[in-house]
Structure formats: C-alpha cells, structure tokens
C-alpha cells in the first residue's frame, strides 16, 4: 500500500515543501529553487508595495501575489478587494508567463475589475489604479492573441 504523506508546517497544516521556480512552478524535491515568501507576514501598505514591486521587477509575480495575499488577509475590510485585485493581477501575469494564455488573460481582467473601483488615477497608498487597469487590459489582449510573455519585461509599475 502506498504511503500518503503530506508536507506539514510546525502547526501541522498542510504545506507543499517542494522547491519552486520564479514563476511558482513546483520543482522536484532536492532541486534548488527560488526562496519562498513567508506566509502571514503583516506589512504596512508601503512595505507591501515595495516588496511586491521588487519581486515583480525580478520576474517573480507568483511570489508578489503571495505578498498581496498577506495584505488582503490582514488589511482592513475596506481594502480587501483592492489587495485581492492586486493579487489577481500578479497571478494573471504568472499564468501568462507560464503559457496559460486563457487563464492569464482572465485573471488580469478580473484583477483590473477588482481595483477599478478604487479610483481613476492614484488610489489608496499611491497605487496607480488607472495605470494598472490600463496595463492589465492591454496585456490581457496581447496574451489572448500572442501567447506567453516574459514576466520581468511585463512587470507593471504599482505606484
């Protein structure tokens, strides 16, 4: 009978301990991957934006999505949709760079829709809402018709 062991963290929660590449794809156990973002980190909005921008510029949108997810889960209720939309933009770029054009375009558009309600220019915390919405819509169109993109080359400016 096959043993079914799941990776667990120190509290016993299921966690996939496999190393991952810069786009978050699992690598074989023992391979050297990109250092994972710690989960559950509470950052200020400015720290969130700086860390996410650093990861996006490095071609690591999957890891930037995890930073936004922390903000989404720990921030005020009035900003949950903003941070969720930002996470969707990052994971949309992740899927597009992995070659999942339909999923990438869909998530980019969903993220753009999620943050659009936060303004037509500079939104909360200096986020360039209008610029990000335009970037996501334009990239979604290119992704749907042209295939994968380079995550670092397509990294948006958040502020």
- Kindly report, residue by residue over 20-62, the tens digit of the pLDDT: 887 888 888 888 888 877 788 999 999 999 999 999 999 999 9
pLDDT given for residue 5 in this prediction: 56
Are 61 and 151 in contact, with CB atoms under 8 Å apart? yes
Are 34 and 21 in contact, with CB atoms under 8 Å apart? yes
Q: CATH classification of 45-146 is 1.10.3450, yes or no?
A: yes
Are 150 and 133 in contact, with CB atoms under 8 Å apart? no
Domain extent listing, the chain: 1-36, 45-146
pLDDT given for residue 105 in this prediction: 97
Residue ranges for the chain with pLDDT beneath 70: 1-16, 121, 147
Q: What is the rounded CA–CA span in Å between residue 38 and residue 89?
A: 20
pLDDT given for residue 13 in this prediction: 56
If you ran DSSP here, which 8-state letter would residue 126 be given?
A: G
- Kindly report the average pLDDT of the chain as a whole number: 89
């Amino acid at each position: 009978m096959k043993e079914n062991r799941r990776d667990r963290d120190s509290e016993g929660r299921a966690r996939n301990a496999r190393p991952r590449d810069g786009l978050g794809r699992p690598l074989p156990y023992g391979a050297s991957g990109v250092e994972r973002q710690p989960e559950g980190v509470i950052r200020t909005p400015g720290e969130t934006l700086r860390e996410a921008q650093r990861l996006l510029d490095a071609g690591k949108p999957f890891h930037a999505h995890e930073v936004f997810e922390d903000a989404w889960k720990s921030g005020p209720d009035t900003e949950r949709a903003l941070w969720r939309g930002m996470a969707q933009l990052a994971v949309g770029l992740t899927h597009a760079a992995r070659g999942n054009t339909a999923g990438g375009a869909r998530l980019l558009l969903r993220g753009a829709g999620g943050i659009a309600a936060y303004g037509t220019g500079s939104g909360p915390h200096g986020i360039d809402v209008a610029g990000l919405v335009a970037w996501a819509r334009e990239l979604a169109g290119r992704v749907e018709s042209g295939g994968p993109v380079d995550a670092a080359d397509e990294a948006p400016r958040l502020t």
